[in-house]
Amino acid sequence: MLPRPLFCEEHNMFRDSVRRFMQNEVEPNHADWEAQGYVDRSVWLKAGQNGFLCASMPEAYGGAGVDKRYSVVLMEEIARANATGLGFGLHSEIVAPYILHYGSEEQKTRFLPKMAGGEWISAIAMSEPAAGSDLQGIKTNAVRDGEHYVLNGSKTFITNGWHADVVIVVAKTDPQKGAKGISLFLVQAGTPGFEKGQRLKKIGLKAQDTAELFFDNVRLPAESLLGGEGEGFVYLMQELPWERLQIAISAVESAQAAIDWTVDYVKERRAFGTTVSAFQNTRFKLAELQTEVQVARVFVDRCIELILDGKLDSTTASMAKYWCTDLQCKVIDECLQLHGGYGYMWEYPIARAFADARVQRIYGGTNEIMKELITRSMGLGAR
């Protein structure tokens, strides 16, 4: 493997700490969490106590004030362990940055320390039953009424939705203005009219508490608005490159984990009087997959350098998201094939990874949308 100069000794020490946490607190419990459909809240508190939540947030708000590379390490170790029930990345590096970048001082002080400590779990509610990648097509609305907004609508496919103590809700405050009429709101659990639906049953990600959310005449104080009214779409577009890169980061590490599991398996599995690793087809296939994953990692590491410098553009992030998630699914499928019938058994990590990976080509904007964004940058947009 090529060296990764992106990380220094402190990052490597942090990685060792995260890996031990995964081995001791997560991996022994993940099967139980899959069976019950959600992870225990206790693991959030333990993660907070270890400094694994909102690490890149300033110390003044409960974070560690470190750079995003520490969050990258956490994402990679979660993917390596296939601990797909943990919604830490969305909580720490999607929701928290919205509050940090666009929230008032009161909002930052109220929400971020409890999020960093794992006391409060967060979610962001974009997708709706009839609007996924097309954010401008949302129907959820918030109407100003004196010193309040009245929120109505529903959301679906919301990661951390069932556990969530606070949710960033994307809503239209002026339906006539299109993208310029979209705003963001901070909605706390227990607010009258805000109800959580049942946990959704999915093909994979079975330990992740994905839920529907419903808003029926929810009266929100005007100070629940996150940032400026009508600025929500701009905020979403500004944060999307980092959000999409996070998906690519996890995809590459997941693919590498699949290769590592498969190498171990084919060395031990015997067929026709020899190990499966002795067959040229096995060796050549794994050589091809390892090369492709290595190429993807170099590209993603370069994207991480760009995000650290504030230079990652939407087009490049879209390339990373689409390419790496397509590759992840391909690699895991090929590795499952090398496991033979055992690859289809849920007790093997490759089977669970196969089911978990498929959604990565859908969420964060479908890969078809990613390609559309890329072609627009090439001057090939639809006329």
Judge contact between 352 and 82, C-beta under 8 A: yes
Q: Are β-strands 194-199 and 182-188 bridged in parallel, bridged antiparallel, or unpaired? A: unpaired
The answer to whether 212 is a known catalytic residue is no
Torsion sign (Cα): 344, 348, 353, 355:
positive
What stretches of 162-277 adopt beta strand conformation (E)? 166-172, 182-188, 194-199, 211-221, 225-226, 270-271, 274-275
For residues 219 and 144, give the distance between their C-alpha atoms in angstroms, rounded to a whole number. Answer: 10
φ, ψ for residue 141, nearest 5 deg: -135, 155
Q: Kindly report the CA angle at 147 between 144 and 152, in degrees rounded to 5?
A: 40
Q: Is the dihedral of CA 135, 140, 141, 142 positive or negative?
A: negative
What angle separates helix 314-338 from helix 280-308, to the nearest 10 degrees? 160
236 phi-psi bin (left φ>0, alpha ψ -120 to 50, beta other): alpha
Of 34, 76, 212, 243, the active-site residue reads 243
Q: Please give the positions annotated as active site.
A: 243
